[in-house]
Structure 1
Amino acid sequence: MNRVACALLIMAGALLAGCKDDAKTSNLPPPHSLTAEAIGNYCGMNVLEHPGPKGQILLAGWPEPVWFSSARDTFAYTMLPEEAKTIAAIYVSDMARAESWDNPGIANWIEARQASFVIGSRMRSGMGADEAVPFGDRTAAERFVAEHGGRIVGFADVPRDYILGGNSDGSHIDGIDTPQRVAEGQAGHAH
């Protein structure tokens, strides 16, 4: 095989891999724009009144999103056993596209499983708790870490204790349930 043919095969493989990733997100229901009617699932308050990233979960067969005043609360919903597990899509504010911390935007959503998250930073959620700050652009996440501290992890690597309590620095502890492990039924046993 000549070099041109090899190069074409490599490019075709890369394009197909990209299409596969697009297919993962293209079959998802689209996110809703944030409105004044959005009430946080856990706090019962207007989501727009809180600074920092927000979240919404779309449930299969349910027309309206479940709103969250923070990305951290969005994670909590995926981890708590009493919450619905018919999740069709999980969207969080893309802070790489946010105007500011106080104005994260009403329509700049990213599917949570495609985002990078900064955990353990000095920035707090709208309710004053530690936050899992989502970014659609890893370079923006790295700039955020340089300015506010923390570390970058993927959706599946956000520790359960960081979200539900017990380990506020965001460091990983063996056996901690992450959203991916819970979804796959492989929950560990945290002490």
Structure 2
Amino acid sequence: MNIPRPLRRLGLAAGLGACVLLAACGDAARSGGATPVEITRDTYCALDGMLLADYPGPKAQIHYDGQPEPEFFCDTTEMFAIYLKPEQARKVRAVFVQDLDKTRWDAPQGAWIDARTAYYVVGSSKRGAMGPTIPSFGSEAGARKFAEAQGGQVLPFAAITPDMARLDGGALHDQKM
């Protein structure tokens, strides 16, 4: 079939445009159609009521079905502790964390990414709002660079376990008391 060159170009452009739109739809579908909500001076942690803007380290938010506003967390460890609980029965629409490739540790702002696509550093020496935390990065290279400087192991979202996200800081197993 002999298709004129201008029509072939138009078809190619339309095809590329469709691919871009489908990729964007995939991102929206992965995040349950939810969009991240920015932290304000009044945004507080769902677990302990702390004001998030007052503390360093990456924050997190979980969007639940049937709940118009997300629940925010002081750090990613708290988010994982709630998200990974076996008794967690509410349907999660989306989970967002801050990308430390794109924001500062001391005063993180914006830079929200889908938590399920992020890379994390478990066991670093860096401390967040509640002590040990699990820093989040949009790129594996960023997570590796951080781990080289601060220690820890780089893992994807699916590899984080409840034992890695304990909120007791190890106090329950401290035999020195």
2-side partners of 1:87 and 1:31: how far apart?
14
Percent identity between matched residues is 32
Q: 1:48 to 1:87 in 2, by over 3 A?
A: same
Q: Is 1:75 matched with 2:80?
A: yes
Q: Between Structure 1 and Structure 2, how many residues are aligned?
A: 153
Please give the TM-score of this superposition, normalised by the length of structure 1: 0.71
Give the gaps of 5 or more residues in structure 2: 1-18, 171-177
Structure number with greater CO (CA < 8 Å, separation at least 6) is 2
Please give the TM-score of this superposition, normalised by the length of structure 2: 0.76
SS at 2:143 equivalent: helix
Q: How many angstroms does 1:103 deviate by?
A: 1.1
Q: 1:67 to 1:27 in 2, by over 3 A?
A: closer
Q: Name the residue aligned to 1:110.
A: 113
Q: How many angstroms does 1:22 deviate by?
A: 3.4
Q: Is the 8 A contact 2:81 2:167 kept in 1?
A: no
Q: Name the residue aligned to 2:159.
A: 157
Q: Is the 8 A contact 1:51 1:104 kept in 2?
A: yes
2-side partners of 1:165 and 1:70: how far apart?
11
AA of the residue aligned to 1:122: S
**Which sits farther off after the overlay, 156-165 or 46-55?**
156-165
Give the gaps of 5 or more residues in structure 1: 1-13, 169-191
2-side partners of 1:70 and 1:165: how far apart?
11
| Cα distance per residue 1:78-127 (max 9 Å; x no partner) | 122454521100001111101x211111x211111010011111111212
Larger radius of gyration: 2
Q: How big is the alpha-carbon RMSD for the aligned residues of Structure 1 and Structure 2?
A: 2.7
Q: Name the residue aligned to 1:139.
A: 141
Q: 1:103 to 1:166 in 2, by over 3 A?
A: closer
| Cα distance per residue 1:131-150 (max 9 Å; x no partner) | 11110011111110111011
